[in-house]
A and B are shown apart, each in its own frame.
Chain A
Amino acid sequence: MQANHLRFACDLGEEMRQGIVYVAYGDRARQELGYSLESLQRWSSLPVKVIDECPYPVFHLIGQSPYIGQSRITKTKLIEMSPFDDTLYLDVDTRINGSVEIGFEALNDGFDLVITASQNQEESDYLWHIGSQDREATLNDLGFIALQLQAGVFWFRKNDATRRLFEQWSIEWAKFNDQDQGALLRALYRCPVKVWLLGRVFNGGSVIEHRFGMARG
């Protein structure tokens, strides 16, 4: 496999059809980002945008987030901050070991969101990693223990349905200012979109490895 040179969105003119976005806040996240980008360039030549809260001299930063100290709200604003029609969002603690085209193909074929289910699906572990108020609100809103989704790797297409979803995601996240996954579930159940579910190989598996939590300082 030939190495591809990373192309950053600032280097491009009109070529904004498909691309990859990271959110990297803090030194640890930026360090992880470096490793992730190194792995990505072996498998994809798509343009990359890195969203950070401050200028970062090494990478061609074109996305400076106004949400200082709040990386999670930035994720809920991706639809505004991504310059691409079709976006793959990657957590910085991912390592790419295969083609990521599957998600873009599904978007091209008409899906709105391509994502994986979380590895923890035991009822006793339901949304274990989020605050109790956030979890209780999610349980009350949905009325049942729903399938948990892992929002560290997902593809989305900009359209009216996903704009509504992201808008609702921001609203839901702002209720507790906590993790994003409870908020995503509440948003999705209020604003459903066409979802295509991938196997775990694409988030925490052989194609996209996920070193959960490594980016937190």
Chain B
Amino acid sequence: MWVQLLSQQLIEVRGKATTFHPGDWVEVSKQTADRWVLSGQAQTANRNGLTFDDKMGIVARGKTTSLPGALAGKIKVVNGQSVHFEKTLFWDGQINPQPGLLAVGFNLLEKWQVAAPLWSYTELASQAGNENDRNKAQTILRDLRVLLYDHRLVFVRRCADGLAFVEQWQKERGNYHDERLAFLVALYQCKPIICALPVTWVKK
């Protein structure tokens, strides 16, 4: 089955491991193709690819507004802190989002109010921040043996609960050295309907 790569892959060609790059078309087994498409590493010929509309946009923190390769020019990027678009992705300009998954993330906001990847499957809030951070967080969260989210890639729907969450998140960022705890505390306080995503949504 033919797929167009959205990420670099090493594929065996005539017995030799060959590097293929984003944009390359390659023929692989259906199983491999399905797995890559569903994890955002490739797209099929029938898919519209990375389709975005003007309801969607990215709010970038810091000075970066340039998206990596496949995304460049496909979606609006602004600097700021607020829920600027009907479906907003808060992006920490430092990390590389999986391009094929961004459209998926925006579409999740049809049903969910917030969507964000987990930070780790094993690292807990009890291991984050300094002692002061953890003591403060524990007064809200009650128990820190809970999973952390990756605050660097957060999809938010512009609705009352989404706006309230973002406002609280911004407030808590000033209260914690470790921003992961700030995000988690805001989440616990506001309780938006959040879709937790696999850690692989952020390339590490």
Contacts and interface: CB of A to CB of B under 8 A. Distances in A.
Contacts of A200: 121-122
B193 interface: yes
Main SS of the interface on chain B? mixed
Contacts of A5: none
Nearest to B31: A124
B145 A123 contact: no
Given A124-B35, A143-B104, A194 B191 contact: yes
B51 interface: no
A82 B195 CA distance: 26
A39 to B, nearest CB: 19
Contacts of A193: 193
B123 to A, nearest CB: 9
A147 B145 contact: no
A102 B39 contact: no
A117 B196 contact: yes
Given A109-B188, A110-B191, A190-B111, A143 B38 contact: yes
Contacts of A147: 118, 196-198
Given A109-B188, A199-B147, A145 B198 contact: yes
Contacts of A85: none
B27 interface: no
Given A109-B188, A111-B191, A121 B121 contact: yes
19 contacts: A102-B142, A102-B145, A109-B142, A109-B188, A111-B191, A119-B121, A121-B121, A139-B34, A144-B40, A145-B38, A145-B39, A146-B197, A147-B118, A147-B197, A189-B195, A192-B112, A193-B193, A196-B146, A198-B147
